Structures are given as C-alpha cells and as structure tokens.
Structure 1
Amino acid sequence: MIFQGTEDKDARALALAFDKLGTEANAFTERDSTCFYVKVLKKYALSAIDLLAQMLSYPAFREKDVEKEKKIVIEEFKSYMDNPEQKVHDMGLRAIWGNHPLTCSPLGRIEDLVSADPDRLRLFWEENYTSDKLLIAIAGDIDERDVKDIVSQYPLIKREMADARDQSTPSLDPILVSEDEDTEITHIVLIGPGVSYSEPYLYPASALTVILSNSMGARLFQKIREERGLAYSIYSYLLSFRDTGAFASYVGTGSDSDEEVLRIILEEYRSLCNDTISNEELERAKAHLSSGIILGTEGTFGRMEYIAKSFYSYGRVIPVEEVLARIQDITPGDIQETSNRLFSNNLGIAVLGKEGKKVGERLWRVLRSYLRD
C-alpha cells in the first residue's frame, strides 16, 4: 500500500516520479522486518531518498487503492498456495512453534487480507512505522550529513509509539504437521531448534548447512541425489532471529523413497553428533561460507542489505573481515557440539503431498524411533 500513493501523489504520479530519477524502487517483507529500497545513480540519490521518505511518511491509504491492492495480494497468496515447496516451509515452522506469529508467511493469512481496510492499515502503520523501529542503510558514494538533512524533515523520523506486536519468544513443542495435496512428489521438512543472532553457535550452525547439503560435495547432496538419485532438490537452512532460531532440512522425493531419504538425513545428523568432522571437510565448508559472504557484498544492493541486517541484529555494522575471521575460527569440536544442540532432540516434521497425512504418520514414527535411540 505504501507504493499506492501519498497525500498529494496518486500511485501513477509516484511511479512516474521514481521513473524520472531512473530508479529501481521496490520493497520486500521478511518474517521480522520490511525493507523499502531504491537503487539509483549518484546524481539522483538524494532526490530518490527524499521521495522514499515522502512515501513512507505520508501514505494515503485511499479506499479504492486498498481494494485494488487487496486483489493483487490475494492473487499473490493464491500463487503461494500453488507452490508446495514454499508452503511446506511454513508448515515446518508450525511443527516446532505452533501458531506463534513467526510461523506465518510474510503474506499473512487470507482472512486478514480480505478484511483489511484503510483504518486497520493506517493503525498498523502508526504503530510500526516509527523512528524507534526505523533503520536507514546506504551503500554508495554519498555524504551521510546530506541524507540526515533530508530525512530529518519528515515526521516518520520523529514519531514514536509503544509496540503493540507480540514479541514473545516461541516455545519449542515439536509435532507432525501434514497435509494432503495433489503433487507429483512428497515435500518434507525436518526441523528443530536453531540459534539466535547473538549465540556463539551461529557460525558453526551456518557451516552445518554447507556440510549437510548446500554445496556440490555436501553429505546429503551426494548420498541422496548423486549416489542414489532419490531427489532433485535437497538443502538445509538456518533461520535466525533476535532470541530464537530454527534449523531445517528440506527434500522433495517420490512416495516410494520418502522413508529412505528421511533415514539418510537422520543418519547424517547422528554422525555429526557422534563423530568429529575431518579438518578437510570443515575447510571446504569454511571456503564455501566465506565465498558467499564476499560475493554477496560485492554489489551495492548486497552491501546495503548486509549493513542493514548487521545493525538490526547486533546494533553495529560488523566488518566483513570480522565475519570471515569468525568463520575461520570454527573447529571440528564446535561442529560436533553444535550438532548435539540442534539434532539430538526436539525435532519436528512437516509433510505435504498426495498422501501427505498417511506418509507423515509413517515418517513421524521413524523420527520418534531415532529420537528414542
């Protein structure tokens, strides 16, 4: 709705104003934050920042625009529902955190989209788009003082309000979440506790995603895909927030191999808990992680996103060199200790497929047996 216009510009006028500056203007929403950004040539940078600040400070929330945008977002929601691989990840979070707000898709719930109106949207904006929650990150050749002179004129930078959101830490209660859906393959997410931004296990946990599946030589990639041909897509990921986190492994496989695939994943989890990883395997994971950090911050957009996330998470911008040093400090003992924290207990599972509920019950028994041993 923010892009639908301000008090003195409708959506088209606002779009043309950005186009006149040659900008790439857009936004994206994550589970705990929203980012509005412009990518623009240096000579237009201050004008683009001014326009972005206007847009965020004076949204109109016209009723006709709200109704139009609702239709667009509902279509986006339908597209999300048609993507089982995307949907099963939200199911996975419900498998460990129940109905906590962090388990909701950034798109929200369809009933909330349908019932949205200008008053509710404005109230949300007033409660959440305030100076104490606002972070401005810029990557490029620009004078910080000029930026401050521009944005300090706008009320958004000065307004504060008590936070009305639920910010409680989700409790960990692993269960099976399964649904039947007419898909060609079965989508499985094995999920458990992760680490928050501030925990010392963050970097070893990140290395575990590479060791397990996020590189060509990774354990699960080799054993499930390359050696046995049981799946096309297999990967692990870490979600970290300020006070909690989740570690998950996803695989999409046929109904005749789902149990075999789950057992392979659990065997590798157990191996990482019981056996010390070799220095050679760890060095490969470190190289992969380090390369991702360096390549991801080469462009201005990647650098801007890194600056914002770093300050949002830690209250300071951590130099890339410091992150690389922390990666190099990971030891085989760190990997084993972190594995025992993540994989020894409290694992839930989400299953989505043609016989998702039936398959889910079978895989849940396999998982329970693993946790008892």
Structure 2
Amino acid sequence: MTANNRGPAERPARVATPSNHPAAALKRMKTSILQDGVRRTVLPSGLRIITEVIPHTRSAALGIWVGIGSRDETPAMSGASHFLEHLLFKGTHKRTAMEISSEIEAVGGETNAFTTKEYTCYYARVLDSDLSLAVDVLVDAVADSLLEPADVETERGVILEEIAMHEDEPGDEVHDIFAEAIYGSHPLGRLISGTPESVTPMTRNQIDSFYRRRYKAPEVVVAAAGNLDHATVVRLVRKALAGSPLDTGDAAPAKPRAADKRVRVLKPQNVVVHRDTEQAHIVLGGAGMSRYDERRFAMGVLNNVLGGGMSSRLFQEIREKRGLAYSVYSYAAQYADSGLFGVYAGCAPGKAGEVLDLIRTELERVAESGITPDELVRGKGMVKGSYVLGLEDTGSRMSRLAKSELLHGDLMGVDELLGRVDAVTLADVGQVAADLLTRKHSLAVVGPFDEGAFPPG
C-alpha cells in the first residue's frame, strides 16, 4: 500500500527514545551568536539550526540543507540524490503526499527542493505566523520519508522525462558536456540527475539504503530567516524531529567538505554533439579554482569584466558591436577542491567559428594585458552589488546562512565580504587572468556540426 492510500489508523506512531529526554538534551545543546541577529544551535545529534531575525518582514524562509550531492554517488547510484529530492515529498508516517503539499499551500506558502553536486536543499516560504507549520511539515518530509515502492516507480518515470526534456534544451545540455570534458568520469563531471542507464535499474532498496546511510544528523543544517525567534525555532525543530531517524545520540557536526586530491582534470579537448538545432551552443573554458582559494574574489571581478553583464568585454564585442550572438556570458563554478571557468555563446551555426575566434582573442588580450582601472572599479561594483542586492529577501538570507555553515564552517559578515572585494587590485586580477586564461581550453559544442568541425585552439 502506498503512502497516498494510507489512512490515519494505519500510520505507525513514532516513539521517542530515552536518549531524547528533554532535560538531558537541553544540557547538551550549544547555542552561540554568530552575528547581530544570527544565532546557531547545535543539537546533541550534531544537527545544526541557524536563524537570522529580520523583524520588519511578515514572512519566513525555512531550509533543510543536507551536505550530500551528486558527487557523493557511485557510478551505479548516479542520480540517487536527485531521486531522493523527488521522493521525500511523497509521504511519511504522519502525512500523505497530498497532505504535505496541501498543508503548506493552504496558508499561501510554497515548498520546493533542488540538488547540486555537493548538497541538497528542501525549502519552504510562508507567512511568519505559519513558520511552525512549515517546520513540522518540512522536517517530517526530510527526516521520515517512507519511500514507498509505488512512489519510486512513479518518480522514476518523472525523472526519466526530466532527463529527456533536458536533452531537448541544448543551451543547458552544453554545460553538462563541458563539465564532462573537464572532469570525465569523476562525479563532478557526471549529470546531477543521473542518466537513463543509472536511473532505470536503481531499486527502491538501493535508494532507501542511500537515504539512511547519507542523511545523517551531522550532515544536516536547518536554516531559517525572517520574523522569527531563534529559541522558538529550535523548540519546533526538536519537536518535529522527536523519534525520527534524525533524532539520534551524541555526535559532532560534519566539517565542511575537505579538498579531494584525487580530482583529476582531463587534457583539453573538443567535444562536438550533433543536434539539428537552429542555433549553435558553445562553451569554451577549463578548470577554475575552489571555493577556498583566496583568489576567488579577484576571480569574481575578472568574471564580471569579461562576461558578467551588458558592459562586459565579451558582450560588447560579440553582441553589441557585431550582432553575432544573442546570448554571451562567462561564469565560474566553485567546489571544495576544484572549479570551472567557462564562456558561453549561442549563435547562428554559420557564425560559430567567428564567435569562437573572438572569444579566444579576448581571453588572450586579458591574459596578456589585464584589465583597466575603470574595469576594476566596475567589476568590483558588480560583485558587491549582486551580493548585497541578493540579500533583499528572506529566502536568500536563509540560503546565505546554510551555505556558509555547510561549505565554509563560518559566516562571513557582509562588511567583511565587501572589504575583501574592495581589496582586490589590478595585479590580483592580472595574476588570475594570466593563470587561467593562458591555458589550453576545452570546447563543448552542441549544434548541426560533425565531429572535427572545430580544430583545436
């Protein structure tokens, strides 16, 4: 019988264990003040709760972040984290799938989830008065999902359709091809969703085993931001966790993911995937830097100058002056032990060669001569503005708390971050450009081309 068909009388009750005695647990909890309005509590299980009070809002955002992503999967289990993202909303011992969604929607809230290569997030946004409901529903879904066999089969079909739909979007597909060209068979080079070859044979027991082994309390961060009270949120989370698989004994929180020295970058290569498309999709680039690299602030400035907006060099040169592409931009992705830097362009197939030459010329120019003082000022302004403006709602503030805890182990203040950006010099940017842009780059292309259509650059 599936979760959707289970009636109230058939739902076994969760029983609190002796180790969860309220008085003993309170003695072992540790609460600290990270910044003004930001507090962090570590439960005896190692699960962390971080909140930020934003008193002048009438909403609250809640996220349950698990430090497990697609890079934690074996080749046979590729796509398991994404599979779980779908399944954890399908029913628990307390609620059916319909009840999980309807209880939040009945108060005008919203729930969703996403999976990345290094973590998975389940989140909700509600009115501040409904935060207690959001905590109860979301914690229940993440901590105590049933993973009924029928739901596994239903979501398998949904995921396979999602993968097929993604392959019909060449502008998205080219980025995955580019990542694989850099990392090959390493988990960082694999699709987050998995492939039909990995998702189709994956059994319910395999997914359940992954869930029970990987979703441990020390890997979990509960983050909330909005018009809230920290102690109340802690109490609500503890109540929702009581008796669940995440309500465990003493453990220390997991440390941020350590650098894995085994990450290997492939030799530069060209990968061309033939598609009968009306547009050519190009990504040129290579390995970048990790999120712990002190040069990441200079990298942010360089990225904005090169292709971060309408005033960037690539946009001006390729679109504004020549009208060769509608979309052209650069981007950087950072992981615990590696990273990517790439330039994307979408253009008419007949213009692909010219666009690629222009991209390479601009990268060479910046690598040799650096950027101008005016560009440095503009690049810094773009980095600072995007960061600060991105903290204007409760959802982004909640994400900042969780990512800082999961990925860095601390919370950098806004002023400190802006200071780090301000400290970037022309020499800093020049050194990063000379390092990253003078290397031979890999090329990924999706469009109406045959293999070998683009000679090595």
Q: Which of 305, 310, 314 is residue 220 of structure 1 equivalent to?
A: 314
Following the alignment from structure 2 to structure 1, what is the Cα–Cα distance between the partners of residues 329 and 370? 22
Partner of 1:3: 89
Could you tell me whether the CA contact under 8 Å between 1:233 and 1:251 is conserved in 2?
Answer: yes
Matched, 1:122 2:213: no
Secondary structure of 1:358's match? Answer: coil
Following the alignment from structure 1 to structure 2, what is the Cα–Cα distance between the partners of residues 102 and 291? 30
RMSD of the alignment, in Å?
Answer: 2.0
Could you tell me whether the CA contact under 8 Å between 2:373 and 2:426 is conserved in 1?
Answer: yes
Following the alignment from structure 1 to structure 2, what is the Cα–Cα distance between the partners of residues 100 and 293? 31
Q: What are the superposed Cα offsets for residues 117-150 of structure 1, whole Å, 9 maximum, x if unpaired?
A: 3211111111221112111111112222222223
Partner of 2:263: 170
Question: Shift of the alpha carbon at 1:167?
Answer: 6.0
Following the alignment from structure 1 to structure 2, what is the Cα–Cα distance between the partners of residues 263 and 271? 12
Question: Shift of the alpha carbon at 1:157?
Answer: 4.7
Partner of 2:357: 263
Partner of 2:101: 15
Secondary structure of 2:264's match? Answer: coil
Distance 1:20 1:3, change over 3 A: same
Q: Which of 136, 159, 165 is residue 222 of structure 2 equivalent to?
A: 136
Matched, 1:245 2:349: no
Matched, 1:80 2:166: yes
Could you tell me whether the CA contact under 8 Å between 1:2 and 1:55 is conserved in 2?
Answer: yes
Q: Which of 189, 192, 196 is residue 286 of structure 2 equivalent to?
A: 192
Q: Which of 274, 284, 299 is residue 378 of structure 2 equivalent to?
A: 284
Secondary structure of 2:316's match? Answer: helix
Aligned residues: 361
Question: Shift of the alpha carbon at 1:244?
Answer: 0.9
Question: Shift of the alpha carbon at 1:22?
Answer: 3.2
Partner of 1:295: 389
Distance 1:75 1:231, change over 3 A: same
Question: Shift of the alpha carbon at 1:100?
Answer: 0.9
Following the alignment from structure 2 to structure 1, what is the Cα–Cα distance between the partners of residues 328 and 291? 25
> What does 1:26-41 align with in structure 2 at a 5 Å threshold?
26-41=112-127
Identity over aligned pairs, percent: 32
Following the alignment from structure 1 to structure 2, what is the Cα–Cα distance between the partners of residues 32 and 208? 25
Secondary structure of 2:89's match? Answer: helix
Matched, 1:328 2:432: no
Q: Which of 183, 191, 199 is residue 105 of structure 1 equivalent to?
A: 191
TM-score by length of 2: 0.75
Question: Shift of the alpha carbon at 1:215?
Answer: 1.3
Partner of 2:72: none
Unaligned runs of 5+ in 2: 1-86
Partner of 2:39: none
Following the alignment from structure 2 to structure 1, what is the Cα–Cα distance between the partners of residues 235 and 260? 33
Distance 1:131 1:24, change over 3 A: same
Q: What are the superposed Cα offsets for residues 282-319 of structure 1, whole Å, 9 maximum, x if unpaired?
A: 11111111111111111001111122122222101111
> What does 1:226-237 align with in structure 2 at a 5 Å threshold?
226-237=320-331
Secondary structure of 1:179's match? Answer: strand
Could you tell me whether the CA contact under 8 Å between 1:225 and 1:232 is conserved in 2?
Answer: yes
Could you tell me whether the CA contact under 8 Å between 2:186 and 2:263 is conserved in 1?
Answer: yes
Could you tell me whether the CA contact under 8 Å between 2:263 and 2:337 is conserved in 1?
Answer: no
Following the alignment from structure 1 to structure 2, what is the Cα–Cα distance between the partners of residues 237 and 277? 17
Following the alignment from structure 2 to structure 1, what is the Cα–Cα distance between the partners of residues 412 and 429? 23
Partner of 2:17: none
Partner of 1:371: none
Unaligned runs of 5+ in 1: 368-373
* More helix per residue: 1
* More strand per residue: 2
Question: Structure 1: which 4+ aligned runs deviate by more than 3 Å?
Answer: 159-162, 166-169
Following the alignment from structure 2 to structure 1, what is the Cα–Cα distance between the partners of residues 366 and 260? 33
Partner of 2:80: none
TM-score by length of 1: 0.92
Could you tell me whether the CA contact under 8 Å between 2:104 and 2:133 is conserved in 1?
Answer: no
Matched, 1:210 2:304: yes
Following the alignment from structure 1 to structure 2, what is the Cα–Cα distance between the partners of residues 301 and 339? 34
Distance 1:331 1:41, change over 3 A: same
Could you tell me whether the CA contact under 8 Å between 1:50 and 1:151 is conserved in 2?
Answer: yes
Letter matched to residue 26 of structure 1: N
Partner of 1:156: 246
Partner of 2:434: 340
Could you tell me whether the CA contact under 8 Å between 2:286 and 2:441 is conserved in 1?
Answer: yes
Q: What are the superposed Cα offsets for residues 14-34 of structure 1, whole Å, 9 maximum, x if unpaired?
A: 222223443211111112111
Matched, 1:94 2:180: yes
Letter matched to residue 173 of structure 2: K
